[in-house]
Amino acid sequence: MFAGQALASGECTTQIRSLLLLIFNSCDFQMDTPLVFVTGNERKLQEVASILGEDCPFELIRQDLDLKEIQGSEEEICQAKCLEAVQIVKGPVVVEDTSLALSALNGLPGPYVKWFLEKIGAEVEGSCKLLHDAPNCYLGSLTPYSLAVEANDEEWKCPGCKAVFAWVMVRHGIRYPADKRIPGLKKVLHSLQDGILQNGSLSEEERKLFKEWSMEHVKEGIGHFLHEAGATEAKWLGERYKRHLPQLFHGHFNLNHFMPYKNCSSWLHEVKNNSQTYVEVEQYEKGPELAEVVDRLQQKTGVLNLTVWQVQKMYDACSYETGWDGERMSPWCTLFTPQDLKALEFAEDLELWYRDGHGHHLTYMASCGMTRDIHDHIR
């Protein structure tokens, strides 16, 4: 018998196969006895089969069983389901159970995720809407997609309709800073790190995080390259679209890089390199909202004469490192309150609005090409 919480790919495949061999050897099952994966979801069976590989020595089949849901830990629930399934199948089985652990809720809802999502309602589309004060929800354009995504990723269905065409524009995932920014970013952050460790009012955990922190792994030459986490995000987004529209998204796709205004000489002259574009954000940076953030951080870090620019570099570090590794708390994020992050995010929003958004007619006119492309393809 084998009770498992999850099946992972990559280096875990060998461990999974070893466990399956142990099941058969210890339980005296014949090698031609099929292994039953207890699930009502055909897609899950395909996923597990792909993890095990074509040379898996066992036949893997699916059987949908209505198993009792006991209360307990993830391990206890899986063990109970496995024992019950074995009594029904009379052979080797694999069961799985899904959990959702939110750090801000001390690990809740855990294995009760289905009930939890039903109770909070479908309108709560992502954990950022639920945990509105979680620090990693206010990281501007670097906020991880996984925190803002809607919970439902089932197939999109409309009675009487059939999907025949989809036009999708997708942003890239998290990447490294631009090459020209890397040296300056590392220099100012390492300098601030020294000052914070010497004079900052830190908890033991915060001090430990700052002592261990380094940005030496970010080298020049990788600027704007997609981080491994960004590649994972892109793959994950693609898989979501395949689940939403399985009849359309299969095989190879036509992926076009589309950011036309970046190569427009008029935009470069009239928008990006025009000081008037940044008037609003510069006024905001001199205003009381960010002054309050700077004052509070000076007290927290012990760094005198802290500037808005330095605070923004700390915010950048918090944003990038959260995107690169959401499981590990960036020490820079520990310095900010949710209100600090909201104020800093708004500064970024202002800049992007006037430089890359509807703040200038040249930028929003670029979307006309996309609209025309949609029209031409549908026609």
Element containing residue 119 per DSSP (H, E) = helix 113-120
Residue 71 CA to its chain's centroid (Å): 29
User: In the chain, what's the furthest Cα-to-Cα distance?
Assistant: 78
What digits encode the pLDDT tens for the residues 254-280? 555 555 566 678 888 898 899 999 999
Query: Coil, strand, or helix at residue 191?
Result: helix
> Rounded to whole angstroms, how far apart are CA atoms 71 and 59?
32
Residue 222 CA to its chain's centroid (Å): 21
The pLDDT value given to residue 350: 93
Q: What would the mean pLDDT of 10-37 be, rounded to a whole number?
A: 63
> Rounded to whole angstroms, how far apart are CA atoms 342 and 314?
14
For residue 297, pLDDT beyond 60: yes
Query: Coil, strand, or helix at residue 212?
Result: helix
Least confident piece of the model among 22-36, 38-52, 132-146, 170-184? 22-36
Choice between 26 and 83, residue whose per-residue pLDDT is larger? 83
Are 291 and 311 in contact, with CB atoms under 8 Å apart? no
201 backbone dihedrals φ, ψ, rounded to 5°: -90, 85
Whether the upstream peptide bond of residue 109 has omega within 30° of 0, thus cis, is yes
Whole-number mean pLDDT of the chain?
Answer: 80
Tokens of 96: 């799985």
pLDDT range class, residue 237, cuts 50, 70, 90: confident
The pLDDT value given to residue 127: 53
For residue 9, pLDDT beyond 50: no
Choice between 284 and 257, residue whose per-residue pLDDT is larger? 284
Candidate ranges 59-68, 256-265, 316-325, 362-371; pick with highest mean pLDDT: 316-325
Choice between 280 and 22, residue whose per-residue pLDDT is larger? 280
Are 354 and 360 in contact, with CB atoms under 8 Å apart? yes
Tokens of 115: 């009930």
pLDDT range class, residue 128, cuts 50, 70, 90: low
Query: Coil, strand, or helix at residue 69?
Result: coil
Query: Coil, strand, or helix at residue 204?
Result: helix
CB-side neighbour CA atoms (13 Å) of 197: 14
Pairing status of strand 93-95 against strand 35-38: parallel
Are 135 and 341 in contact, with CB atoms under 8 Å apart? yes
The pLDDT value given to residue 92: 81
Are 347 and 284 in contact, with CB atoms under 8 Å apart? yes
Are 34 and 69 in contact, with CB atoms under 8 Å apart? no
Q: How far is CA 175 from CA 4, 64, 140, 236, 327, in A?
A: 34, 41, 14, 15, 17
Residue 340 CA to its chain's centroid (Å): 22
For residue 124, pLDDT beyond 70: no
pTM tops 0.85, yes or no: no
- Give the sheet arrangement for strand 60-63, strand by strand: 2-3, 93-95, 35-38, 60-63
The pLDDT value given to residue 262: 66
Q: What would the mean pLDDT of 323-348 be, rounded to a whole number?
A: 90
Dihedral of the alpha carbons of 86, 89, 93, 94, in degrees to the nearest 10: -90
The pLDDT value given to residue 7: 35
Which domains does the chain show, CATH number per domain?
A: 2-97 (3.90.950.10), 101-148 (no CATH), 182-226+258-378 (no CATH)
pLDDT range class, residue 211, cuts 50, 70, 90: very high
Candidate ranges 118-127, 214-223, 332-341, 353-362; pick with highest mean pLDDT: 332-341
Choice between 9 and 107, residue whose per-residue pLDDT is larger? 107
The stretches of 178-303 forming alpha helices (DSSP H) are: 182-199, 204-212, 228-244, 265-267, 279-285, 288-301
Residues 6+ apart with CB under 8 A from 188: 310, 313
